[in-house]
């Protein structure tokens, strides 16, 4: 049976329906956010099922405290947050926009002297391995832990790292992530090591972390 519409039109229709549902979900969460304290908040952006006790866990996942669309301005007053944390989130958004607008908004809600910590997939590692100048561990680990069975060749692994079933929109190395934070207005942006006190243990390998702060 011949479809009455094109594949592209059907995909666009599904995307429109998804965006409408997301808008309704976001609007409800904005109303919920009004009941939170106006100072000292600790935001865990893109929390998924990895909730942090004592934090405001924000994600579209059903277990989140607030189901917010992170492309939109956060519904918190200027300077209301002590720390903003995200892990494996920023790569899911187009760069430079809306990623840079998001970073500037994260800076807005931080109190002077507050900290922003960002973790993203480390892209320098697989590219170095592909060029044959690394230790030779990445592709074996990707096959064992991270990537689907159809990834067999190094280039298939590279493509999955960059795209992840169309979920990834941009890839970062340390220079690019630090520069993005700096351009957004943060100070002291620098690459930092995995911190077991705050970071997710299963993401220690393959994650690039950077920390910055808001000028006091």
Distance CA 45, CA 159 (A): 26
Is residue 133 assigned to a domain? no
33 inside domain: yes
Query: What is the per-residue pLDDT across 204-213, written as a single tens digit (0 to 9) for each?
Result: 999 999 999 9
Q: How many CB atoms lie within 10 A of CB 107?
A: 21
| Residue 141 within any structural domain of the chain | no
Residue 128 lies in a domain: no
List pLDDT tens digits, range 116-140.
Answer: 999 999 999 999 999 988 778 999 9
DSSP 195: -
Total domains, the chain? 1
Share of the chain above pLDDT 90, in %: 84
In a domain, 159, yes or no: no
Widest Cα–Cα separation across the chain: 65
Tokens 């298939």 belong to which residue? Answer: 156
- Distance, CA of 136 to CA of 115 (rounded, Å): 35
Task: Identify the three-state secondary structure at position 109.
Answer: helix
115: domain CATH number is 3.40.50.150
Residue 106: give the domain boundaries: 7-122+172-213
Does 83 fall in a domain? Answer: yes
**What are the pLDDT digits (tens) for 105-118?**
999 999 999 999 99
142-197 pLDDT tens trace: 999 999 999 999 999 999 999 999 999 999 999 999 999 999 999 999 999 999 99
Cis-peptide, bond into residue 211, ω within 30° of zero: no
Is the preceding peptide bond at 96 cis, omega within 30 degrees of 0?
A: yes
């Amino acid at each position: 049976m011949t479809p009455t519409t094109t594949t592209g039109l059907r995909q666009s229709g599904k995307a429109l329906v998804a965006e409408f549902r997301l808008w309704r979900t976001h609007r409800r969460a904005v109303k919920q956010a009004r009941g939170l304290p106006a100072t000292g908040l600790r935001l865990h952006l893109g929390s998924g099922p990895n909730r942090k006790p004592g934090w405001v866990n924000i994600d579209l996942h059903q277990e989140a405290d607030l189901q917010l669309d992170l492309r939109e301005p956060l519904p918190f007053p200027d300077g209301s947050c002590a720390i903003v944390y995200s892990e494996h989130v920023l790569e899911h958004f187009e760069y430079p926009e809306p990623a840079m607008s998001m970073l500037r908004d994260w800076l807005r809600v931080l109190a002077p002297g507050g900290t922003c910590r960002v973790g993203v997939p480390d892209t320098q590692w697989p590219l170095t391995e592909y060029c044959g100048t690394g230790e030779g561990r990445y592709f074996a680990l990707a096959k064992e832990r991270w990537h689907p069975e159809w990834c067999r060749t190094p280039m298939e692994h590279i493509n999955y790292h960059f795209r992840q079933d169309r979920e990834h929109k941009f890839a970062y190395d340390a220079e690019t992530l630090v520069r993005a934070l700096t351009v957004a207005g943060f100070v002291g942006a620098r690459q930092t090591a995995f911190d077991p006190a705050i970071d997710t243990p299963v993401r220690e390998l393959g994650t690039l972390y950077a920390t910055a702060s808001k000028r006091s």
